[in-house]
Structure formats: structure tokens, C-alpha cells
Amino acid sequence: MTIDADRWYDPNPDPTGFFQGDILDGVPVVFMPTAGSGKWVLLRPSFPVTLDQALVGNTPKSFRPYVAGTAPDEWKTPDELVLAKAFKRAILVITQTCDLERRNFVQVAPVYAVSTLSESKQGSVETNEVNYLFYLPASEPGISEKSFADLSQIVSVHNSYLKEAKLAKRLSNEARARLQTHLARLHGRPFGFAPTDKLSQVGEYLCLGCFLTAAAVEKRTLTVLGDPFGDCNSCGSKALWVKFQ
């Protein structure tokens, strides 16, 4: 399906409140550093502020960085002060509209340009075929180029940061419904093994596809590790195998 910007956005949004699916500018987002590219950098406050005091919000004059493994009292409590990467870019509001004013924390997804993806993936994104990416067509003012919200990078920000945010675009009712369907497909899809998946644990398996669509029980015993699960006798390649016992 071709996604047209005229249908995807509300042409006259009310800027006095926010909705699920709003694209906002000016919201700071923080991501934890990757573990594989190097060690964490931990922070320690300058005297006289203690680490415990800094952890509850007392700001010292400065912080001293320590590479993980060298900081005093490292991970002494479940909380730590770490050096992280933050940015202010467009974000897509994920939290449902009715919860935005009642929740202290709001879930958002960062927005990136489609041009940052490989050429082989760009076409699939523009038709919303990638379940963890939600397409946002270009539309001035607000979105200068074809973009997408990365739903695999959903993070929480405090509601107070939304007070400084600027509404860039608001999804139309149709697009918001598509977003909700996209989220449901991403986070609510049934778990199971496809026919091409390899067996890693012997046992009895049921076809969840048959059970959900026809209230039928299709059961088989699988014993050869590494063999594919195979098609279901009833629903064929649409099978979704789950371990029974």
C-alpha cells in the first residue's frame, strides 16, 4: 500500500495537547552505551557530595569519569551514575493518548531518515512491511524527508520533558489506527516455531495456528535435533509450533 502524506497527517492539529502518534521535536532521549564497543564509564561526584547523594539528585560541582573496573564502590547498589549518549531529535509518542497526562513516564520512539537505511530496506519501510519500523512520509513543515520511527528503540522519558516539546506532525485517525495495529503485531504476535526453524529440544509440539484459527489440535513428537519442524498436516507452511511437553 502506498502511504500518502495527505492521508497520513492531521492537517489542522490542536497544539494544546498531545496524542499517541504525535511526532515531537525537542524531547531529549538517552541511550545506554553498548557493552561490546568498550567499557562503561562510571561517574563519581566531587567532594563534598557523596555518591548516594548524587544518586538522589544532589548535583556536585563536577563529576570524575572512571572506566568500568576502576571506580570506587562500583555497583555497590543497584543504581549507578554512568556516562551515556543523549540527543534531541524528532520522536514518535507511543503511549496511548488517554495515559499521557496520568503517567509520570511516557514511551517514545526515535525518528530517523529513511536514507540512513540500506537501499534494499528502504522500499519495505515505505510500505510499512518492516514490523519494528513505522513509516513517516515527508511533509513540510515538520518532516523534511522520508522518515521512520524505530520501534525497537522505544525508551521512556519523564512526562515533564513534553512541556518543552514542539509538535512537528500529528497522525491522522487512519494513520494512528495503523500505528496501533503495527504495535500489536510487533509486541502481541503469538510466539512459536516456524516450519523452517530447527529443533533444539525434543518433545511433543502443538500447532498453535490450527488451535487459534480452527480450534483443532495438531500434535507431533519431534526427536531429531537440528531437523526443521516442518509443515503442519492441516495448515501447511502457516504452522506455528509450540512445545507441549
Task: Judge if 18 and 111 occupy the same domain.
Answer: yes
**Is residue 131 a part of any domain in this protein?**
yes
- Enclosing domain of residue 164: 5-32+84-187
Task: Judge if 120 and 181 occupy the same domain.
Answer: yes
**Is residue 194 a part of any domain in this protein?**
no
Number of other residues whose CB lies within 10 A of the CB of residue 80: 16
pLDDT score at 234 = 87
Contact (CB, 8 A) for 219 and 187:
no
Task: Judge if 182 and 218 occupy the same domain.
Answer: no
Task: Judge if 124 and 178 occupy the same domain.
Answer: yes
Q: What CATH code is carried by the domain that includes residue 115? A: 2.30.30.110
User: 1 CB contacts (<8 Å, ≥6 apart)?
Assistant: 127, 128
Element (H, E) at 177: helix 173-187
**Is residue 75 a part of any domain in this protein?**
no
Task: Judge if 159 and 118 occupy the same domain.
Answer: yes
Residue 29 phi/psi, 5-degree rounding, is -125, 135
Residue 5 has pLDDT above 70, yes or no: yes
Task: Judge if 107 and 165 occupy the same domain.
Answer: yes
C-alpha closest to that of 232 among 184, 194, 189, 181? 194
193-229 residue pLDDT tens = 889 999 999 999 999 888 888 888 888 899 999 999 9
Running DSSP on this structure, what letter comes out for residue 94?
-
For the segment 76-104, the average pLDDT, to the nearest whole number, is: 91
Mean of all residue pLDDT scores within the chain: 90
**Is residue 195 a part of any domain in this protein?**
no
Assigned C-alpha cell, 51: 555518591
**Is residue 181 a part of any domain in this protein?**
yes
Task: Judge if 10 and 108 occupy the same domain.
Answer: yes
Assigned C-alpha cell, 230: 516442518
Task: Judge if 175 and 211 occupy the same domain.
Answer: no
Task: Judge if 104 and 170 occupy the same domain.
Answer: yes
Task: Judge if 26 and 100 occupy the same domain.
Answer: yes
Task: Judge if 176 and 148 occupy the same domain.
Answer: yes
107-151 residue pLDDT tens = 999 999 999 999 989 999 999 999 999 999 999 999 999 999 999
Task: Judge if 168 and 94 occupy the same domain.
Answer: yes
**Is residue 68 a part of any domain in this protein?**
no
- Amino acid symbol at 18: F
Residue 54's pLDDT band, with cuts at 50, 70 and 90, is very high
Residue 37 has pLDDT above 60, yes or no: no
Of 158, 187, 216, which closes a domain? Answer: 187
Distance spanning both ends of the chain, measured CA to CA = 42
pLDDT score at 190 = 76
**Is residue 146 a part of any domain in this protein?**
yes
Domain count, the chain: 2
pLDDT score at 38 = 59
**Is residue 214 a part of any domain in this protein?**
yes
